[in-house]
Structure 1
Amino acid sequence: MTRTVSNTLLRLFRVAIASVLIAGSAAQAQDVTLTSRDGTIELTGYLLTFDGEFYRVDTEFGILTIDSSGVSCDGPGCPSLGPFVAELTISGAHNMGAVLFPALVEGFALRKGYALKREEIQGVGTLYSLLEGGTGQEVARFTIKLTTSSEGFADLLSQQADMVLSMRQATTRERSLARDAGLGDLRIARQSRVAALDALVPIVSPGNPVTKISISQLAAIYAGKIQNWSELGGEDAPITPYMMDIEEGFGPVFMQDVIAAQGATLSDRVVIHPTSRTLADAIARDPFGIAMTTYTQRGSGEVVELSGGCGFSVHASRASIKSEDYPLTMPMFLYLPERRLPQVGREFLSYLRTDSAQFVTRRAGFVDQALTRQSIRAQGDRMANAVSTAGEEVTLEELQRMVRTLNGHERLSISFRFEGGSTLLDAPSRSNVALLAEALESGRFDGKQLSFIGFSDGQGAAEQNRNLSERRARAVRDQVLAQLEAFDPARVQMLIDAFGEAMPMACDDSAWGRSVNRRVEIWVN
């Protein structure tokens, strides 16, 4: 694990290092030798990075992070004595690196008053040089490598990247390798965050009469088990399924969350296209085609709603994607190693949380994470679902209590969801904890009342579900409070309530429907 060594901590290594020196172990020629100011301690090793304040050196004691103010540096690997230029490499998913992050780097430079020089590097990506506005002095270089999610993680593990852009969560193996390499735990919120949102949507040619489809039917189409539109209530015509490369972008997510989750395998009838643009063009030309693409790159295709056997349907929209009520919402992740970035890198990460960055994200065509509110009047469909699906265990009195509780409140645009059968938040929700905590610390909700409202799926007894949803609401509230550093809880009233299975978002007859229903919402008054 990477460690930060101050002058005091350096002294803790004195005995161990001195014994090595006294024993006459001649240090081999290395990139750098760092010597304490009093000359009593030396560390030799390979310089990995220097951020203008700290050296990061691979030594015989492991990878150490050392305050440059406490040591002098000798050797060919020592940084230049000239003005420090921060070097940051961002590597990963092409979809994020080609459009979203160039826009964010440019927005950051504009916000900080830097002049910007952009250079396209053949076969690599984009290099941005940030220059002081008055002097033209270069202060930072951002290199955005257009690779894949997997290659981004490989670059991080090999010390070739400072940030990873990923269209999926880090795998168990990638997390394990990162821990072994001293890069920390990629699962925790400090090292992973959601940069933007998108969603997988089925699209058809305008005029196709099929406007709703279930996840199981979708999987059956791509498995070759449903081959004619008449089986879905459409015309008597063969279905041509299209999608992009299953190894890139959201392909692996579709294969895992739709195909594999339904116990199916992909049919050889599926037509693969290299880009989302050619995919959208194919649907525009084929009146009997269906394609899996992203919400932000759907072109002129008609988005088909996802439905279930109970009659519920969920429409993909910016609002339903932002709240993750749409079941195939796809977070776009930014992963970081557990090490100190140069100051400009830390400022860039802080910028990504700002309203300015969220505006840039929207302008770039993606779904942002800016906190917005929706009135109870806009919850008509959900309230109707609550009434129509209320079983014997969900009483009229409980439904009336829910309406009274939420009346006059507005629903916040983020939700919190959980790993199956637990109160452990899933990866996007862990990122949402930080978002809400930052909004509270900024004073956005001062003088307001925030209600953490828990809901559940309909599996099991209603009273047990209500109790579980209350525990989940409390767990979310407690995690948000734990994130707050300089915050007086008296500024905002935070309440806990729960209604269990009383207001479902989707049908309980599928795993995805149940996962959508298990949630904690934030209501503001």
Structure 2
Amino acid sequence: MPRLKLLILLCAITHPAFAGPVADLRIQGSNTIGANLGPALVAAMLAEQGFHDIHRVPVTPPNEYSIVATKTLGQQIRVDVSAHGSGTGFSTLKAGQADLVASSRPITDRELVELEALGDLKSPEAEQVIAIDGLAIIVHPQNPLNQLNTEQLAKVFNGEISTWEALGGVGGTINLYARDNQSGTWDTFKELVLSRAARPLSGTALRFESSEALSDAVSKDPHAIGFIGLPYIRAAKALAIVDGASQPMLALNSLIASEDYPLSRRLFFYLPPNSRNPLAKALVMFTQSAKGQAIVAQNGFIAQTVQASHVQSGAHMPEDYQALTQQAQRLSVNFRFEEGSATLDNKARQDLLRVIDYLKAHDKLNKQVTLVGFGDAKDDSERAQLLSKLRAMTVRRELVKSGVILREIRGYGAQMPVATNTEDEGRVKNRRVEVWVY
């Protein structure tokens, strides 16, 4: 694009008059997605559709961008991205000011009811998991502490525990660092840690709009502790986290991809089922493709691309499960279910397609797969084991439709929990099916 033409375009975009014409696609919501990942996905999608001269242009106020592109015959297109927090995405969708919501948390029941005129936003077409993120708990790199449990975390960020000595460490007073109230990262931390323990955030916490600024501040303060999205650990030290009776888990890619890590979370696009915006639909489809998931990984989040890896055997594992770790590799996705249901959730439906593609590509359709089911604690351990095996059979039925012949199905009941069984969300995480390949 000639320099003069670009200058005119920049002036137009930053000038209030530019707000007149409605953009071809309006994305509102999460700062976690909108800061970099969303614009990167939009740019890559437009490039695949044959657009060129693709520019990301800041707009007033901060955390808003317009992405402008041109086709060979001069057709121009504009995508507006506003990243002021997940909640703003649903409110602007209701007001008719958004076509697509970017959210770093699931839609709430209240939002679902308020938006029911747009269709069922919990339907498989509407609720699209686009990436997995993990909240890392970070401290100064020289802090000797290596792990905390979620109960301790709640007490620390509430101020009930105020010294490192109370946690078995050293260093005196704990300084708290937290994201601001508009952040989806804050929403997730509040939901996974503070709300579960019915505790508010301490008023002494320093609040940050920028993930980078928070991480850098923690890495320079020997007394600090903070929470951050996975791509922003930077120079800080991440702690291993325990939830209930789970094993200590670091914010590792493999544990976040399977959503076993206690502070893992899903990132979403919400597209109204009755949407007539072709760009919104094209962006969702591109994001779920291999190319789109590569963009997810390039931006520091965990892609949903299926991979196989060896699992280290541990004393907490049943004997025959330990043998399985020696003989086979575990795929990077777990199948999970709708709350209180034996129905696969929306992410699991997408993961089925990915797993089937992986099995076909690696010639593992014939007795090369074992499904392993787990569940939450029940009064009757035999019933828990039966239910865990039934969940694995639900996945088997779907795989069989695509020609997969399984080697074996196992159920381990409530053994090897990855989350506490005292909360609904923890029980949902424990009700899972692993896929192992030989």
TM-score range with shorter-chain normalisation?
Answer: 0.7 to 0.9
Tell me which of 100, 104, 114 is aligned to 2:41.
104
- Larger Rg computed on CA atoms: 1
1:233 aligns with 2:146: no
The SS at the match of 1:186 is coil
In the TM superposition, residue 468 of structure 1 has moved relative to its aligned partner by 0.8
Separation in 2 of the partners of 1:214 and 1:517?
17
Structure-2 residue corresponding to 1:379? 312
Structure-2 residue corresponding to 1:412? 331
1:172 aligns with 2:73: no
Query: CA 1:313–1:165 in structure 2 vs 1: closer, same or farther (change >3 Å)?
Result: same
Structure-2 residue corresponding to 1:297? 232
The SS at the match of 2:58 is strand
The SS at the match of 1:379 is coil
Q: Would you say the 8 A contact 2:104–2:266 is kept in 1?
A: yes
Query: CA 1:441–1:232 in structure 2 vs 1: closer, same or farther (change >3 Å)?
Result: closer
Separation in 1 of the partners of 2:237 and 2:325?
34
Q: How does 1:135-284 map to 2 (within 5 A)?
A: 135-138=72-75, 140-179=77-116, 181=117, 183-235=118-170, 237-284=172-219
Amino acid at match of 2:65: T
Structure 1 unaligned spans of 5+: 1-84, 388-398, 482-487
The SS at the match of 2:87 is helix
1:327 aligns with 2:262: yes
Q: Would you say the 8 A contact 1:86–1:342 is kept in 2?
A: no
Task: Provide Cα deviations, 1:50-92, integer angstroms capped at 9, x if missing partner.
Answer: xxxxxxxxxxxxxxxxxxxxxxxxxxxxxxxxxxx99221111
In the TM superposition, residue 417 of structure 1 has moved relative to its aligned partner by 2.8
In the TM superposition, residue 502 of structure 1 has moved relative to its aligned partner by 7.1
1:126 aligns with 2:38: no
Structure 2 unaligned spans of 5+: 1-21
Task: Provide Cα deviations, 1:411-431, integer angstroms capped at 9, x if missing partner.
Answer: 111112345654355xxx422
Point out which structure has higher relative CO (alpha carbons under 8 A, 6+ apart).
2
Separation in 2 of the partners of 1:493 and 1:436?
15
Size of the aligned set, in residue pairs, is: 411
In the TM superposition, residue 138 of structure 1 has moved relative to its aligned partner by 1.6
Q: Would you say the 8 A contact 2:26–2:99 is kept in 1?
A: yes
1:336 aligns with 2:248: no
Q: Would you say the 8 A contact 1:202–1:291 is kept in 2?
A: yes
Structure-2 residue corresponding to 1:3? none
Separation in 2 of the partners of 1:188 and 1:270?
38
Amino acid at match of 1:386: M
Task: Provide Cα deviations, 1:162-194, integer angstroms capped at 9, x if missing partner.
Answer: 110011111112111221x2x111111110111
Q: CA RMSD in A?
A: 2.8
1:364 aligns with 2:364: no
Structure-1 residue corresponding to 2:405? 493
Q: Would you say the 8 A contact 1:116–1:128 is kept in 2?
A: no
Query: CA 1:515–1:234 in structure 2 vs 1: closer, same or farther (change >3 Å)?
Result: farther
TM-score computed with the length of structure 2 as normaliser: 0.85
Amino acid at match of 2:92: D
In the TM superposition, residue 285 of structure 1 has moved relative to its aligned partner by 2.3
Tell me which of 223, 248, 251 is aligned to 1:313.
248
Amino acid at match of 1:379: Q
The answer to which of 141-150 and 413-422 deviates more is 413-422
Structure-1 residue corresponding to 2:5? none
Amino acid at match of 1:229: W
Separation in 2 of the partners of 1:302 and 1:468?
39
Query: CA 1:438–1:456 in structure 2 vs 1: closer, same or farther (change >3 Å)?
Result: closer
Q: Would you say the 8 A contact 1:219–1:262 is kept in 2?
A: yes
Q: Would you say the 8 A contact 1:473–1:496 is kept in 2?
A: no
The SS at the match of 1:352 is helix
Which structure has the highest strand share of the two?
Answer: 1
Structure-2 residue corresponding to 1:520? 433
Separation in 1 of the partners of 2:421 and 2:94?
41
Query: CA 1:154–1:496 in structure 2 vs 1: closer, same or farther (change >3 Å)?
Result: farther
Structure-2 residue corresponding to 1:72? none
TM-score computed with the length of structure 1 as normaliser: 0.72
Query: CA 1:111–1:494 in structure 2 vs 1: closer, same or farther (change >3 Å)?
Result: farther
In the TM superposition, residue 331 of structure 1 has moved relative to its aligned partner by 0.9
Q: Would you say the 8 A contact 1:371–1:414 is kept in 2?
A: yes
- Structure 1 runs of 4+ aligned residues shifted over 6 Å read none
Amino acid at match of 1:205: H
Q: Would you say the 8 A contact 1:242–1:270 is kept in 2?
A: yes
Tell me which of 368, 375, 382 is aligned to 1:456.
375
The SS at the match of 2:317 is helix
The SS at the match of 2:135 is strand
Query: CA 1:496–1:126 in structure 2 vs 1: closer, same or farther (change >3 Å)?
Result: farther
Query: CA 1:222–1:403 in structure 2 vs 1: closer, same or farther (change >3 Å)?
Result: closer
